[in-house]
Amino acid sequence: MTRPFRFGVNMVSLSTGDDWREKCRTAERLGYDVILVPDHLGAPSPFPALVAAAEATERPRVGTFVLNAGFWNPALLAREVATTDALTGGRLELGLGTGYVKPEHDAAGLPWGTPGERVDHLRRAIEELDKLLGADEHQPQPLQKPRPPLLIGGNGDRMLQLTSQHADIAAFTGAKAAPGDSSGTLRHLTAEELDERIAAYHRFAADRAAPAELNLLIQMVEVTDDRRAAVRPVVEYIPRLTEDTALELPIVLIGTVRQIADQLRAQRERYGFSYITVLEPYFEAFGPVIEELSGS
Q: What would the pLDDT profile of 6-65 be if each residue is shown by its tens digit?
A: 999 999 999 999 999 999 999 999 999 999 999 999 999 999 999 999 999 999 999 999
How high is the mean pLDDT of the chain? 94
In the prediction, which pLDDT does 189 show?
87
Alpha-carbon distance values, 76 to 91, 128, 155 (Å): 20, 11, 27
| Cα torsion angle, 180, 186, 192, 197, sign | positive
Q: Where are the domains of the chain?
A: 6-220+255-293
- Please answer whether residues 254 and 230 qualify as being in contact, where contact means their C-beta atoms are separated by less than 8 angstroms: yes
CA angle 195, 199, 202 (to 5 degrees): 145
Quick one: 6-220+255-293 is in which CATH superfamily?
Answer: Luciferase-like domain (3.20.20.30)
Predicted TM-score (pTM) of this structure: 0.95
Confidence of residue 141 (pLDDT cuts 50, 70, 90): very high
- Please answer whether residues 264 and 295 qualify as being in contact, where contact means their C-beta atoms are separated by less than 8 angstroms: no
Q: CA 209 to CA 206: how far, in whole Å?
A: 9
> Model confidence over 83-103: pLDDT tens digits?
999 999 999 999 999 998 999
DSSP, collapsed to helix, strand or coil, labels residue 236 as: helix
Q: CA 150 to CA 114: how far, in whole Å?
A: 24
> Model confidence over 144-185: pLDDT tens digits?
999 999 999 999 999 999 999 999 999 998 776 666 666 656
Counted residue by residue, the chain has a size of 296
Expressed in angstroms, the distance from the first to the final Cα of the chain is 13
